[in-house]
Amino acid sequence: MNNKEYIERGRFAPSPTGRMHLGNVFSALLSWLSIKAQGGKWVLRIEDIDPQRSRMEYADLIMGDLEWLGLTWDEGPFYQSERGEIYEAELQKLTARGLTYPCYCTRADILATQAPHESDGRVVYKGTCRNLKPGTHSGPAAVRMRVPEEGEGIVSFVDGHYGEQTVDLTTQCGDFIVRRKDGAWAYQLAVVVDDALMGITEVVRGRDLLLSSPQQIYLAKELGFAPPRFTHLPLLCNTEGQRLSKRDRSLDMEALRSRFEAEDIIGLLAYKAGLQESPNRVTAEELVAGFDWKKIGCEDIILVEN
């Protein structure tokens, strides 16, 4: 592909497990603005790989809310639930090289051996099933991706907003799941495969996913893919300092649309992000020309409801 044909490609990939809240909208807005400021295309992917929690009606609501906000997509929607054969083929490539193994551990088993490593409760798997002999166990098993031995799993990358990042996969992440025990595809595998095959060049998302990036970079390279650039953004938090979730019903799109116009919401988020000096009403399109990551702070943003 020559330079004249090259175009930046970003994506928004919500999980249809509930209505979008203001934090989801914040991520969507900055992702959309970043790629549009580069003259690129924005891809919509519905990450509905959790069969127990995903609902088509939520996917429809998400798409309706994005259109109402003026955050229209150029390609998609693509549904991960329809791409299982693609993930299976990529998983088999890893398995053929001895990079995966079955894991029979429950979360209770893992928690019994160690305390959570990260502030969000993340537990680093210590490889209990890594070297099990075939036939030792039976029954349902998850599939884990082997990370390199300690000292050999260092992954460094430059985040588009938070700068240089260095992570030791062995001590900070551990062998991670690529297929769940119930047969559902795990986030890490599905997102890496989809970003590569959809030609995504830039991933913009909340900083709570920062530690996923080195895992995805490692997995992409093992599959022969070039990883995208990662840019993480500060989180929107409630007055208690907790990141917004679907539990914050007063800030989900159903409640917000009953009280505000789209330009009010975009204006508030642009103000909170540092893209304008006051929370004046504005459309997403009007923000494109002045968009600059340098205007956006790194500290999480506390939202005061009113």
Residue 4 has pLDDT above 60, yes or no: no
Does the pLDDT value for residue 1 go beyond 50? no
**Tokens encoding 173:** 């992440």
Q: Measure the CA–CA gap between 52 and 281, rounded to whole angstroms.
A: 39
Identify the CA nearest to 14 among candidates 57, 61, 47, 38: 47
Tokens 């309706």 identify what position? Answer: 64
Task: Quick: pLDDT tens for 208-264.
Answer: 999 999 999 999 999 999 999 999 999 999 877 788 876 666 689 999 999 999 999
Among 142, 127, 226, CA closest to 177: 142
Q: Is the pLDDT of residue 206 over 50?
A: yes
pLDDT exceeds cutoff 90 at 107: no
Q: Write the CA distances from 178 to 16, 126, 230, 245, integer angstroms.
A: 20, 16, 20, 25
pLDDT in tens, 184-198: 999 999 999 999 999
Q: Can you give the pTM of this predicted structure?
A: 0.92
9 neighbors 43 (Cβ within 8 angstroms): yes
Task: For residue 286, give the amino acid letter.
Answer: E
Dihedral pair phi/psi, residue 18, rounded to 5°: 170, 175
Alpha-carbon span 185 to 91, nearest angstrom: 10
| Per-residue pLDDT at 150 exceeds 90 | no
Of the candidates 209, 249, 231, 205, the one whose C-alpha atom is nearest the C-alpha of residue 21 is 249
Confidence of residue 113 (pLDDT cuts 50, 70, 90): low
Q: What is the mean pLDDT of residues 284-301?
A: 97
Span 56-78, average pLDDT: 98
